[in-house]
């Protein structure tokens, strides 16, 4: 019953929360069956102890038969020892059930997020994904306790009812009708809990997204003086979440209070009826002792049944959220025409930008969103009429586009791992931490591209050199083997930018589209990157959205965009001489650029 955290999780049932929970059970049915059997035997043996005690009193203690008393006492000791072992095995098995459900759900969610790719952010917020990964996964796995203790509670409840039937049909009837009555009383609260829990989870995901946005943009907000406004909005949102949490807690407290109080009243009734029957001579002293024991033994299954209902109510809410996430689909890929066999012109009719293959092209605009919109259209991340050669991009299979065109997102995620893995060379163990993250899309290595694994080391060195990132490697205690935190939080903004650029260059795509790849660098480093980037991409198509004169001066072609459309095209120096608007846009960095080229201190 080994749990393999890396095996194929299978195809989940997406037809609803209950069906998803059932699928988790079916995927590990031998383990779930073992947990149910162990829990059932464990709980039934808890009820067997009062039965053996009654036999010891009636057949050994009362008639004075020491041999019978010793025999029944020994049986109780043996049953206790076996039950202790069963309890341990039950707990171990159910822990494996929960861990399997946890890993399986994580793999399903992460796998689906990977399949969605760039479409993920457009369909669901970051907070929703984080809430699923942090809270819902754990809630779902915990709800599977119904498989073991839940089934065992039902079996033990029936067994105790059968044992009490041999003592008194009246007592057996009270026992058999008691728990259904508890279910009728607690059922409406379970339904209300599902509604409150669903709303709470929804608000929680919104607030989680707000926390991420606030943390990521705190420095900018502080500089613009907007930190107080965002903090006030966050305070209001967190207050609403707290109020919703109180509502969930109110329902939960009623369920827990009734779950504790009603069984006590129920068991007190059974004890009182048993004592009356013993006083009237309808049952023996030993049978009365057994009734007391059965009442105590009933506490476990009754408690588990109530807990099972509570956990299932929460689990199905979490499962519905997972199912809703799994229901998201990327835009259909209807491409049927092969991409151009040779490097070809990329053309965006919406802006008039024409990208000549094999050249370094720059896009300059006062509105960065205009340039990134063009890159997204040329990279086929948004619907457009863009063409590759004479073929519309939308008619080319997406896998072919991704294999040859890379859009390097300036805010691409950096996963935790060794620096070499973060840049793009996986650890020797394919299951090790730190597998590389994609820039915006990860091009599938095409025939003729660099190999992977150990043979990729020279290409890694070249990519690091082209991004002027050698000093980062030298400054880290273990060089490329140094562990880097998630999002490279232990590196500076400029270092993170160069790591992202090195990762993009390592893939060596036929077409590289990058937005502001040097915006966080000082002028001297930026000049170095500009020279090395041009040399590294010689003969390959590169498009940069930037306003830095240091980059623009190295470009073969510069498109000046006004209101999202090409207003002028030429070299950097030609546009400086002929276009006042272009000159005014890039002049703010010209002084820094000249200082860098003259070797003066960088900003």
Q: Check pLDDT > 80 for residue 600.
A: no
Structural contact between residues 512 and 533, judged by C-beta atoms closer than 8 angstroms: no
Question: Six-digit token pair at 277?
Answer: 């029957």
Question: Six-digit token pair at 366?
Answer: 């006062």
Backbone angle region of 332, left / alpha / beta, with phi > 0 → left and psi within -120 to 50 → alpha: beta
- What integer is the mean pLDDT of 193-214? 63
- What integer is the mean pLDDT of 228-257? 73
pLDDT band at 142 (very low <50, low <70, confident <90, very high): confident
Question: pLDDT tens across 50-68, in order?
Answer: 777 767 776 777 677 777 7
Instruction: Report the percentage of the chain scoring pLDDT > 70.
Output: 77
Question: pLDDT tens across 407-466, in order?
Answer: 998 888 888 889 999 998 876 544 333 333 334 444 444 433 444 444 457 788 999 999
Tell me which range, 173-187, 213-227, 310-324, is most confidently predicted by mean pLDDT: 310-324
The whole-angstrom separation of Cα 429 and Cα 415 is: 17
Q: Name the least confident of 119-128, 158-167, 181-190, 332-341.
A: 181-190
- Please, which contacts does 67-76 make with residues 24 or more away whose CB atoms are closer than 8 Å? 76/49, 76/52
Give pLDDT, residue 56: 77
Q: Check pLDDT > 50 for residue 598.
A: no
Give pLDDT, residue 432: 38
Tell me which range, 46-60, 172-186, 273-287, 289-303, is most confidently predicted by mean pLDDT: 273-287
Give pLDDT, residue 452: 41
Q: How many CB atoms lie within 10 A of CB 169?
A: 10
Q: Check pLDDT > 60 for residue 338.
A: yes
The whole-angstrom separation of Cα 511 and Cα 472 is: 27
C-alpha dist (Å) from residue 279 to 273, 282, 283, 288, 353: 10, 8, 8, 10, 98
Q: Name the least confident of 86-90, 224-228, 316-320, 451-455.
A: 451-455
C-alpha dist (Å) from residue 276 to 37, 133, 172, 561: 36, 55, 15, 94
Q: Check pLDDT > 90 for residue 302.
A: no
Give pLDDT, residue 542: 96
Minimal CA–CA distance to 67: which of 78, 56, 77?
56
Q: What is the dihedral of CA 593, 595, 596, 600, to 10 degrees?
A: -170
pLDDT band at 345 (very low <50, low <70, confident <90, very high): very high
Give pLDDT, residue 379: 93
Q: Name the least confident of 54-58, 203-207, 360-364, 452-456.
A: 452-456
Q: What is the dihedral of CA 280, 281, 283, 285, to 10 degrees?
A: 100
pLDDT higher at 58 or 120: 120
Phi, psi of 579 (to 5 degrees): -120, 100
pTM exceeds 0.85: no
pLDDT higher at 317 or 451: 317
Q: Check pLDDT > 90 for residue 558.
A: yes
- Provide the H-helix boundaries in 280-364: 285-326
- What integer is the mean pLDDT of 86-107? 90
């Amino acid at each position: 019953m080994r749990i393999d955290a890396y095996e194929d999780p299978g195809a989940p049932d997406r037809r609803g929360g209950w069906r998803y929970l059932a699928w988790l059970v079916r995927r590990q049915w031998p383990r779930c069956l073992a947990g149910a059997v162990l829990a059932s035997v464990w709980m039934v043996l808890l009820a067997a102890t009062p039965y053996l005690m009654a036999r010891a009193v009636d057949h050994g203690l009362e008639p004075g038969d020491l041999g019978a008393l010793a025999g029944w006492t020994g049986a109780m000791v043996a049953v206790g020892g076996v039950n202790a072992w069963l309890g341990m095995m039950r707990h171990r098995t159910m822990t494996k059930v929960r861990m399997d459900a946890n890993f399986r759900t994580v793999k399903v969610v992460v796998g689906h997020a990977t399949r969605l790719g760039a479409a993920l952010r457009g369909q669901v917020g970051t907070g929703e994904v984080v809430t699923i990964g942090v809270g819902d996964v754990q809630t779902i796995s915990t709800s599977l306790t119904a498989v073991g203790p839940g089934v065992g509670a039902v079996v033990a409840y029936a067994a105790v009812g059968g044992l009490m039937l041999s003592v008194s049909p009246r007592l057996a009837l009270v026992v058999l009708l008691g728990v259904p009555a508890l279910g009728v009383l607690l059922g409406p609260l379970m339904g209300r809990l599902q509604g409150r829990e669903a709303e709470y989870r929804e608000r929680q995901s919104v607030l989680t997204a707000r926390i991420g946005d606030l943390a990521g943009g705190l420095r900018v907000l502080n500089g613009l003086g907007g930190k107080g406004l965002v903090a006030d909005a966050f305070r209001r949102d967190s207050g609403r979440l707290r109020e919703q949490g109180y509502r969930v807690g109110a329902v939960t407290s009623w369920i827990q209070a009734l779950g504790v109080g009603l069984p006590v009243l129920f068991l007190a009734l059974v004890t009182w009826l048993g004592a009356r029957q013993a006083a009237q001579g309808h049952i023996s002293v030993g049978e009365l002792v057994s009734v007391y024991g059965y009442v105590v033994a009933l506490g476990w299954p009754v408690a588990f049944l109530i807990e099972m209902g509570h956990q299932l109510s929460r689990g199905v809410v979490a499962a519905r959220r997972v199912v809703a996430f799994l229901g998201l689909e990327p835009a259909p890929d209807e491409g049927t025409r092969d991409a151009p066999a040779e490097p070809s012109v990329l053309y965006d009719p919406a802006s008039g930008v024409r990208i000549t293959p094999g050249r370094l092209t720059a896009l300059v605009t006062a509105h960065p969103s205009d340039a990134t919109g063009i890159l997204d259209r040329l990279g086929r991340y948004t619907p457009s009429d863009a063409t590759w050669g004479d073929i519309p991009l939308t008619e080319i299979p997406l896998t072919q586009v991704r294999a040859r065109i890379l859009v390097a997102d300036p805010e691409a995620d950096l996963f935790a791992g060794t620096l070499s893995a973060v840049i793009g060379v996986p650890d020797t163990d394919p299951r090790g931490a730190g597998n590389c993250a994609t820039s915006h899309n990860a091009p599938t290595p095409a025939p003729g591209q660099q190999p992977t694994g150990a043979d990729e080391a020279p290409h890694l060195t070249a990519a690091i050199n082209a991004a002027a990132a050698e000093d980062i490697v030298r400054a880290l205690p273990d060089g490329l083997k140094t562990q880097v935190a998630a999002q490279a939080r232990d590196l500076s903004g400029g270092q993170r930018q160069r790591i992202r650029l090195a990762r993009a260059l390592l893939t060596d795509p036929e077409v590289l589209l990058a937005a502001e790849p040097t915006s966080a660098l000082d002028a001297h480093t930026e000049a170095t990157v500009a020279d090395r980037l041009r040399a590294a991409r010689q003969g390959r198509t590169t498009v940069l959205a930037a306003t830095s004169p240091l980059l623009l001066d190295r470009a073969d072609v510069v498109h000046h965009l006004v209101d999202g459309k090409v207003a002028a095209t030429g070299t950097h120096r030609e546009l400086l001489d002929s276009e006042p608007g272009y000159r005014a846009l890039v002049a703010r960095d010209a002084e820094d650029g000249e200082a860098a080229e003259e070797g003066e201190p960088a900003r």
